[in-house]
Structure formats: structure tokens, C-alpha cells
Chain A
Amino acid sequence: MSESSERAGGQPEEKRRGLGGAIGDLLAPVAGFGVTFSNMFRPTVTEQYPYVRHPTAPRYHGRHQLNRYPDGLEKCIGCELCAWACPADAIFVEGADNTPENQHSPGERYGAVYQINYLRCIFCGLCIEACPTRALTMGNDFELAGPTREGLIFTKEELLAPLTQGMLGVPHPMVEGTTDRDYYRGEVTGPTADQIAWVERERPEDPTLEGARQAAATKAVR
């Protein structure tokens, strides 16, 4: 309200010229209401968030996600290129060695510590452009508010994509006879019997075992 009257008051010269002397002066105080009235008949754009949620644009830059290969291994190699690319210095990464007993990603290196500080992130997407393994992508989730600073520094556990049906929980070895390049080229399509056997031996209670067994069986039939 105050804005429209200000605007009206801001252009008195023009109005005066348009409507002419005395009549213009007379109508000036109510001219602003014209804007008000005309808007009353337009469709409303108020979103009833959070009761009604509209999808974002499909390529909206939302919360990050650290992706996995189909067998469950992480794609992130801890290279810190995302951290390097970040103009807001929101990303913190520490790499570590993959070992036969503790293999998190294909190849020699994985991201042991991974944090994104959403108080800093400006959602520019430069990090996902920098990622050499397409480990880092952005989703459409924009609900990133919270009462504490700590809560808004997302850790690797929070950022990692959940294990979908058929993926095997990490750590576990790479598919036998493959290299990190084969993974990158998409030649690994799911966990193999050897990987499942390894997890069965190391972590018999792993909840992803059942799904992985099924996935491996279906693939074998196919």
C-alpha cells in the first residue's frame, strides 16, 4: 500500500501533465488505488507452502548428493576438486587410502571426510561441474534451514545417496577384474556373487545383503 502511494507521489510531474492541472491534482491521491484495484482481479500467486508444495524447475540447484555406482561403491574419490572450485569455500574434503579391507570407491582413493556447509553454499553448481567422477550432483531439495550451525554443515553420511534396492553396502571390494575406469564407463551394473560373499563374511548382518542377492540372481537369470 505504502509502496504504491509512494510510487504515485514519485511521478507527480508526469501525472499532472497527463491529466491536466486541477483535475489531475484532485485525482492524484486515489490514482494509486487503480493499481490496487486492477490487481484484485488477477489470479493469486501466493503459494501455500508448506501446505502445498510445488515442484521446482527440473534443473533447479538444490541440495547436493554424493552418488554411488550400481554395486554400491561410492563415486567420490576425495579429490577435493569440488572444494577447489567452490567460490564460497563451503566444501571440506579429506581423502584416504582404499585398502582391500576397506574399499569405499573404485581405485586407490576415496573421500573419507566430506562436508558441505549450507550456511556458505550459494548453490552456484561450480562444484558439480568440477567433479571428475560425477559423484557430486545437485538435487531439487531446497529445504535447507535449521536452528543450529552444526546442523547445517552436512556430513558425508547425510550427503551420500541412499543405497537403493540391489546395491550392496560399503565397504566392499570392487567387482573382480575391473578397474576404476570400467566403473566410470558404466560397465559395472550391480553387485557380483564375490562381492556379496565378501560382505557375508565380513558383515553377515548387513541389511543390504538380501536385496543385493536378489539383484545378482535376477541378473544371472537374464
Chain B
Amino acid sequence: MTTTQPAPTGQVVPLVEVTIDGVRTEVPKGTLVIRAAEDIGIAIPRFCDHPLLKPAGACRQCLVEVATPDREGTLRTMPKPQASCTLEVSPGMVVSTQLTSEVADKAQHGVMEFLLINHPLDCPICDKGGECPLQNQAMAHGRATTRFVDVKRTYPKPLAISTQILLDRERCILCQRCTRFSDEIAGDPFIELQMRGARQQIGTFDSGVLGFAGDAPVGAAELDDSGRPFASYFSGNTIQICPVGALTSAAYRFRARPFDLVSVPSIAEHDACGAAIRIDHRRGVVLRRLAGDDPAVNEEWISDKDRFAFRWQVAADRLVAPLVRDGEDGSGPLVETSWADALDVAATLLAQRRGSLAALPGGRGTLEDALAWSAFTRVVLGTNDVDFRSRAYGGAEEADHLAARVAGSGLDVTYADLDGADVLLAGLEPEEEAATIFLRLRKGVLAARTHVTVLGPYLTRGSAKLRATLLPAAPGTEAEVLEATDTFGASDGDRPRIVLVGERLAAAPGGLTAAAALAERTGARLAWVPRRAGDRAAVEAGLLPILLPGGRPVADESARAEVAAAWGVTPPAAPGRDLAGILDALRAGELAGVVVGGVELEDLPDPAAALAALEAVRAAGGVVVSLEVRRSAITELADVVLPVAPPAEKAGTFLTWEGRPRAFAAVFDTAALGDAAVLGLLAEEIGTPLPDASMPAWRGQRVAAARLDAPAPPEPGPGQAVLATWRLLLDAGRGQDDEPHLAGTARRAVALMAESTARGLGLQGAAEVTVRGPRGSVTLPLVLAGVVDGVVWLPFSPRERAGAAALGAQSGDIVEVTA
């Protein structure tokens, strides 16, 4: 919290000597007076100043008396008190704060009085009451009684900026932290300072306030689900940095007081970024989440999903007790039972079928969970049929890539590296899929230290905010485009180059191979960015058919020997089946059962086929055991359901996409058990206790990365287009259930295509299009945008309407498009 602009690395900044309240100190040139004072432990009151935002000098609370030497060296006091948050130190400067200077103290008292003139002082009903800098400052530096006798300016309150963010203009002290954040950090200037003088206020586009005829000047694609101009995925941060209670969230409004809350630091579970958060709970209920402060990861910002989506953990369909099938033959409905009984039933069913079982552990767990799954599969189930991937994926090419370049590679590319590099994003839309990466890239881009190139079908709003160069590629042609690329970035190679491949690139055959080749060609470092919090841990733990913990190849005998030495059990030697192989084998009766954890049917590339496979295995007398937090389509099919704890009720470690361990403690001490504990109990019951599966990284020969040549790209015929799709940050995901206020701020679902494509499909002037895939069709409003020709983009699964998920088609598949 002490630097405003980090000095460009490697440059030596000269020191400047200043005296603050009689204390001499040396600080780097360019340091603000308020920070120099902070460094020696002198706190100057402030509202608008924020170390991660540009100085504004808007609130004037930080006034101090300043004297500087003139040409002869005589100290001359500046005629008026100066704002210490905008003033840089100069040699020989003498600063007197409120502690030593009456002038400064009086000035600060005056500013405080002015700030309170129109302030409603409704602290009793204000969400900020008890943690309000203005309240604290007024108590510490304000007058005990008011001298203001006139009528205060009032506004109707609150003003809903989005379904989530509410603005109380009466309380606003016009510090502009919110507008500066939106503009400088998030890049969504959806609120702005309006009007002048006493009527100056923060607001959205409001024709009434602005005296502007007509609608807000935004396009159809820029509306949110509630019909407002699209706000921001980062809007919740404005609430946190607002120094008064002017910005509040609908979800937390009036729910508690700071002194009711118990705060626990934690890690966000919604993506692979590992953002630090703070969880505030009261009487066993989580009431809000705030951004934690971690300069190495998320600085002080988190996405709205990380902030507001937490009630899924206690949703009504949360499993509280184990479930087993009723009836003698195990065909009845699921009924609740005791842990002892459920473990007994599950152990019996699994032990009978040992040797023909598989595991689908999902990618949402912690490192501890993933390791337990890995050991459970190898030691208890006795198989390598395990695949954490539960999404469109790239089969053996992806598995090889992960085994060769990701597993056991430790901390390589980090957030800090993104700031100051030429970055190529392939199969990754950071604003939607990895919000913290988006903010870090944007920070670098705005400082002209980073340049971003995006491989994708169109320049998204998020990419535009990164001022990215688009490398246009229709889905299915990614490999081809990457192969044809010789260089990227804007610096002719004097900045380091980084290629970030998203998990989606794997679904384009040859994509990962081409990206790795490009990285090699351009001397770039390559990093893999999955979407889920547990994906990287799953790779490290070897939850792939060809991989053991620490990046050890299954096929390597010495690797197996190392594992055997550490575990006391030799893992099976034959590489296993991957997700598609497991599902096929279940359907064909080659496998007699599967243990599933943290997988949603909707996540799988073909939910209908997966459902059929699970039904088939049960019909053939096989077994499905499910470890889940909440009831889902898969638990409904299971023979035994073992409830596991959501992140708030267990301790663990998430691995970020960088490979950085992010340990967190349990928020609540409940009876719920994590995956690792449940698998441990189950293994005990079966009679094969689980070894501690953690192992150091593999030093030996790695899996050789496959070289896959890209197949011919899809050729849409008449009336057809190539589907492009990905998940948006806010959509129908189950992690966002029970959050109506948040859901309203999701992007409006629209179908995007180029004008030429629309013309070719005979869709000129159509307001809506219907896209048809093998399993269904969806109708969405049509918006013309600069999408690659012949491609239609749909959101994967928006909450309000059906999206690409309903088509049964993947990115790169051909779909029919009609009006």
C-alpha cells in the first residue's frame, strides 16, 4: 500500500530528502508526500487517495503545510495548504501535517465541515456505519456539533446503477474513487461525474440528469440482463473502495454491521486465478465477500463473481447426509442414511467390481482433494482410468501437452510477468474466464509495458479494453493461424514474450501443438490457463490417464517405481482411458462402474451421451458413486451419494494457473468432510488405506508432447455457419445460483456475426436468429459485429435463455442458422 506507480524495474530512482513533522527521511524521487509520511508512520487523513489509482486531489482532506527552499536556499512556505496526495516530494521540502501545524489542522477541520454540509449523517441506516472512513474521520477530526442550519441537498435514494450496485448520492463525497477505478482499472466507465457545483453527482447515463434526449448511446450487445447499459464485471470493487456508504450492494444491504461480522481470509473458488478474498460471516452465515490484498496475485481487486457468488455453498439442494438406494436390490429411490451405512454400501459395491472401475474427479477441488483422488484411483480402484477434464477437451493431444509442459513445472509465468511482456492469448478470453489475468494485463497495457495479441473469432469488448491486436481465426482454424504466425507483440522482441493458452484451445485439434511451436519459434514462455480452480491441481496430482503425481508419466517405469516407493503400492502400468474412453466403456459394458466427483452433467462435452452412459452402466448392474456438495443430475443417477464440503467448510490449497499454491482455512467448522477425507474413509472401508499422495516434481524424462497436425478446417455450406462459443463470467453456472442481484448484471445473451455472414445467410435486417445444432436450437437477438466471416458466436449458457450448450455442438462445429 505504499507505492503509487511501481518504478519500472531495473531503473535506479534517485532519493530525495524531505522533512515531515521534523523527521528527516529519504524517499525515491516522485514519491507523493502522503506516502512519504506513511513510510515514517505519520497518517494524514484522506478519502480520495488510493495507492492503486491515479492521484486526483478531489476531496482535499489531506491538506498539509509545505515549505520548499527557494533559489537562495531559504525555506519558503507555500501560501496555502497543499493536498499531500497530489504533491510529489522535492529536495529539502519541509512538510508539517495536522500533528505539528495549526494551519494544516485548521484546514482539515474546515474540509471536514464542508464535506459534512450536505451529508445526510444517516449512519444508523448506512451499510458503511462502523467501518466508514468519513465517520471515523469526523469522530477524530470533526466538530462535535454542527454550525450548518440550512436545508441539506437531498436526492431520491438509492439509485440503482445495476441490479447489484446501489448509489446513495447524498452520502457521496465526490472523491471519484469509483469513477477512477471504473475508468483506470476495469475499463468500464459506466459511472461518471455529472453536473457542476453543488449539484455535482455521480451517476450512470441518465437522460434526466444530463438533459439529454433519447436513449443511452449503447448497442444491443452492451446491455445487461436487466436491460441496463452493461455495467462491469468488477463493479463490486467500487463498493469496497468507496470511502463512504454511497455505493452499496443489493445483496448485502442492511444485512449486518461490521461489528457483527467475523472475517476470515480465503481464496476465491470460481476460477483458476486464486484471488485473495475476505469472507465475512455472522452466526454461521456468510454475508459478504471482499477483495483481499495480495500484490502478487489480485492486488486489491476481484471480479463480481468472486465477490457476490457464494450462496451456492448453502443452497437448498445442498446434500447434508449420504444417500443410498432404497430396497433390497438397490433399485429404489435415493434415501438418506448414516455415514457408516453409506460407506459400507459403497465399499461393498466398489470392492466387488475392483479392476473395472473408473474415476471422474472433476476440476473443482483443492490440491489435497486431487491427490486423494489420484491415490484412490490408483490404489483402491486399481486403474489409470481417470480424467479430471469435464468440458470440451482435446483428448490425447491435450493430455500430452499437460503432461509434457504443465505438470510438475512449478511456478513459471506469473502475474508479475504479464505486466511488461508481449502476450499472446489463444483460446482464452481473460475478462470472462480469468478476471485477475485481465486486470493484470490491462494494468500493463495502460502503462504501455504490455502488448496483447488475441487469437479468436472477433475482438471482444474485453480484448478491446486490453487494446489487443486481433489474430482472427474461425473456430477450427486456430492451429493454422498460429502456424502462419511468425511473431507477435509490439516490441520487436526486446520485451519477454508469453503465450497464454486457455483450456479452450485444446478443443481445436492441433491448436496446442501449434501454440507450443509458436512459443518455441518466438522464444516465448508458454503457460496454460484453465478455467476452474482445481484444474491445475488435478494436473499436478496426475488425474489424467497417462500421468501420476508430480508430472510422472504412467508409462515410465522409474516414475512408477518412485510412486510405489512413496505410496507403498505400485500404480497400474497400463495407461488408462480418458473421459471419452471412460464414457464409451461405461456404455459398452467394459467398465462396471465409476466414481464421480464435482462434475456437472452440463459441463461435459455431450451431456446427453454422458447421461446415457451412466444409465447404461447402472442398467447393466454397474455402480455409480458420487461425491457432491449439492444434488445434481449425476447424484440423481448414483447408487451412493457421499456429501462433501464446499470450500467454506474445509481447508485446502488451490493451485492457480501459475502453479502458485493458495492455501486457505475453513470458514466454518462443520461436520462436512472434504473430498480427501471422504475418499480416505471409503478407502479404509474397502480395506486399502490411502497413502499420502503428495510427491515432489518429477525430474526424469517427460511425456513427449504429441505433434498433431491440424485437420482441415470446417467448411460451412449454405444456410450454415461455424459455431464459436465460450462461457461468460456470469451465466447459468451452478456456482452462481441463488444470486438474483448478480444475475441481473450478466451480459445480455445475443448472437454475433459479421454483416457479410448475415447477408450470406439471408438474415439482413433480422432482429433474431435461430441456430440449430444436433440436439436443439436456440433463438437469440442478432447483433452484427466484426466476427470472422462464416462464424456465429453464441454465449455458452446464459442464465435467462438457452445458449450454445443447448445445441449439442461445440466450438468449431457446423450449425444451421435461420431467421
Q: Which residues in window 247-300 of B have CB below 8 A to A?
A: 253-257, 259-260
* Smallest CB gap from A98: residue in B: B254
Decide if the interface of chain B is mainly helix, strand, loop or mixed: loop
* Smallest CB gap from A110: residue in B: B254
Q: Does A132 interact with chain B (Cβ within 8 Å)?
A: yes
| Interface contact B254-A109, CB-CB below 8 Å | yes
Distance in angstroms between the alpha carbons of A79 and B245 in the assembled complex: 14
How far does the Cβ of A131 sit from chain B's closest Cβ, in whole Å?
9
Q: Does B125 interact with chain A (Cβ within 8 Å)?
A: yes
Contact of A94 among B130, B157, B256, B259 (CB under 8 A): B256
Interfacial chain B residues near A83, Cβ < 8 Å: 257, 260
Take A107-B125, A132-B124 as given contacts and tell me if A78 and B254 are in contact as well, using a CB distance cutoff of 8 Å. Answer: yes
How far does the Cβ of B139 sit from chain A's closest Cβ, in whole Å?
14
How far does the Cβ of B607 sit from chain A's closest Cβ, in whole Å?
38
Take A107-B125, A108-B158 as given contacts and tell me if A97 and B253 are in contact as well, using a CB distance cutoff of 8 Å. Answer: yes
Distance in angstroms between the alpha carbons of A108 and B129 in the assembled complex: 15
Distance in angstroms between the alpha carbons of A84 and B124 in the assembled complex: 11
* Binary contact track B592-606/A, C-beta < 8 Å → 1, others 0: 000000000000000
Q: Does A216 interact with chain B (Cβ within 8 Å)?
A: no
How far does the Cβ of A85 sit from chain B's closest Cβ, in whole Å?
11
Provide 13 A-B residue pairs closer than 8 Å at the C-beta atoms, listed in order of the A residue.
A78-B254, A80-B257, A80-B260, A81-B124, A84-B257, A94-B256, A95-B254, A95-B255, A96-B254, A107-B125, A108-B125, A108-B254, A109-B125
Q: Does A215 interact with chain B (Cβ within 8 Å)?
A: no
Q: Does A196 interact with chain B (Cβ within 8 Å)?
A: no
Distance in angstroms between the alpha carbons of A83 and B257 in the assembled complex: 10
| Interface contact A79-B124, CB-CB below 8 Å | yes
* Smallest CB gap from B259: residue in A: A84
Take A108-B157, A108-B158 as given contacts and tell me if A77 and B124 are in contact as well, using a CB distance cutoff of 8 Å. Answer: yes
Q: Which residues in window 130-146 of A have CB below 8 A to B?
A: 132-133
Interfacial chain B residues near A95, Cβ < 8 Å: 125, 254-255
How far does the Cβ of B221 sit from chain A's closest Cβ, in whole Å?
32
Take A84-B259, A108-B157, A108-B158 as given contacts and tell me if A79 and B253 are in contact as well, using a CB distance cutoff of 8 Å. Answer: no
> In the complex, which of the residues B130, B259, B260 has the most CB atoms of chain A within 10 Å of its own CB atom?
B260
**Contact residues of A with B, CB < 8 Å?**
77-81, 83-84, 94-97, 107-109, 132-133
* Smallest CB gap from A108: residue in B: B125
Distance in angstroms between the alpha carbons of A81 and B256 in the assembled complex: 11
Distance in angstroms between the alpha carbons of A78 and B255 in the assembled complex: 10
* Smallest CB gap from A81: residue in B: B124
- Closest CB pairs A-B (n = 8): A79-B124, A95-B254, A109-B125, A132-B124, A80-B257, A109-B254, A77-B125, A96-B254
Interfacial chain A residues near B158, Cβ < 8 Å: 108
Interfacial chain A residues near B259, Cβ < 8 Å: 84
How far does the Cβ of B143 sit from chain A's closest Cβ, in whole Å?
19
How far does the Cβ of B169 sit from chain A's closest Cβ, in whole Å?
14
Distance in angstroms between the alpha carbons of A107 and B170 in the assembled complex: 14
| Interface contact A79-B256, CB-CB below 8 Å | no
* Smallest CB gap from A77: residue in B: B125
Interfacial chain A residues near B157, Cβ < 8 Å: 108
Distance in angstroms between the alpha carbons of A78 and B257 in the assembled complex: 10
> In the complex, which of the residues B125, B158, B255, B256 has the most CB atoms of chain A within 10 Å of its own CB atom?
B125
* Binary contact track B128-148/A, C-beta < 8 Å → 1, others 0: 011000000000000000000
Interfacial chain B residues near A107, Cβ < 8 Å: 125
| Interface contact B125-A79, CB-CB below 8 Å | yes
**Contact residues of B with A, CB < 8 Å?**
124-125, 129-130, 157-158, 253-257, 259-260
How far does the Cβ of A152 sit from chain B's closest Cβ, in whole Å?
19
- Beyond A78-B125, A79-B129, A108-B125: 10 further Cβ-contacts under 8 Å? A80-B257, A80-B260, A83-B260, A94-B255, A95-B125, A95-B254, A97-B254, A107-B125, A108-B157, A109-B254
How far does the Cβ of A137 sit from chain B's closest Cβ, in whole Å?
17
Distance in angstroms between the alpha carbons of A78 and B253 in the assembled complex: 12
How far does the Cβ of B249 sit from chain A's closest Cβ, in whole Å?
12
* Smallest CB gap from A133: residue in B: B124
How far does the Cβ of B152 sit from chain A's closest Cβ, in whole Å?
10
Distance in angstroms between the alpha carbons of A95 and B125 in the assembled complex: 9
Interfacial chain A residues near B125, Cβ < 8 Å: 77-79, 95, 107-109
Distance in angstroms between the alpha carbons of A109 and B259 in the assembled complex: 18
Distance in angstroms between the alpha carbons of A133 and B260 in the assembled complex: 21
Distance in angstroms between the alpha carbons of A107 and B158 in the assembled complex: 11
Distance in angstroms between the alpha carbons of A114 and B256 in the assembled complex: 13
How far does the Cβ of A92 sit from chain B's closest Cβ, in whole Å?
8
How far does the Cβ of A87 sit from chain B's closest Cβ, in whole Å?
14
Interfacial chain B residues near A84, Cβ < 8 Å: 130, 257, 259
* Smallest CB gap from B283: residue in A: A92
How far does the Cβ of A180 sit from chain B's closest Cβ, in whole Å?
9
* Smallest CB gap from A179: residue in B: B154
Distance in angstroms between the alpha carbons of A218 and B551 in the assembled complex: 86
Distance in angstroms between the alpha carbons of A77 and B122 in the assembled complex: 11
Interfacial chain A residues near B255, Cβ < 8 Å: 94-95
Distance in angstroms between the alpha carbons of A43 and B254 in the assembled complex: 57
Distance in angstroms between the alpha carbons of A97 and B125 in the assembled complex: 10
Distance in angstroms between the alpha carbons of A109 and B255 in the assembled complex: 10
Distance in angstroms between the alpha carbons of A78 and B158 in the assembled complex: 18
Interfacial chain B residues near A97, Cβ < 8 Å: 253-254
How far does the Cβ of B146 sit from chain A's closest Cβ, in whole Å?
15
Distance in angstroms between the alpha carbons of A133 and B130 in the assembled complex: 18
* Smallest CB gap from A132: residue in B: B124
Interfacial chain B residues near A108, Cβ < 8 Å: 125, 157-158, 254
Interfacial chain A residues near B124, Cβ < 8 Å: 77, 79, 81, 132-133
* Smallest CB gap from B157: residue in A: A108
How far does the Cβ of A100 sit from chain B's closest Cβ, in whole Å?
13
Interfacial chain A residues near B130, Cβ < 8 Å: 84
Interfacial chain B residues near A81, Cβ < 8 Å: 124
Interfacial chain B residues near A109, Cβ < 8 Å: 125, 254
Distance in angstroms between the alpha carbons of A97 and B741 in the assembled complex: 14
How far does the Cβ of B251 sit from chain A's closest Cβ, in whole Å?
11
How far does the Cβ of A74 sit from chain B's closest Cβ, in whole Å?
13
> In the complex, which of the residues A81, A84, A97, A108 has the most CB atoms of chain B within 10 Å of its own CB atom?
A108
Distance in angstroms between the alpha carbons of A96 and B250 in the assembled complex: 11
Interfacial chain A residues near B256, Cβ < 8 Å: 94
Distance in angstroms between the alpha carbons of A80 and B157 in the assembled complex: 21
Distance in angstroms between the alpha carbons of A78 and B157 in the assembled complex: 18
Distance in angstroms between the alpha carbons of A132 and B253 in the assembled complex: 19
Distance in angstroms between the alpha carbons of A77 and B127 in the assembled complex: 12
Interfacial chain B residues near A94, Cβ < 8 Å: 255-256
How far does the Cβ of A95 sit from chain B's closest Cβ, in whole Å?
4
Interfacial chain A residues near B257, Cβ < 8 Å: 80, 83-84
How far does the Cβ of B159 sit from chain A's closest Cβ, in whole Å?
12
How far does the Cβ of A88 sit from chain B's closest Cβ, in whole Å?
15
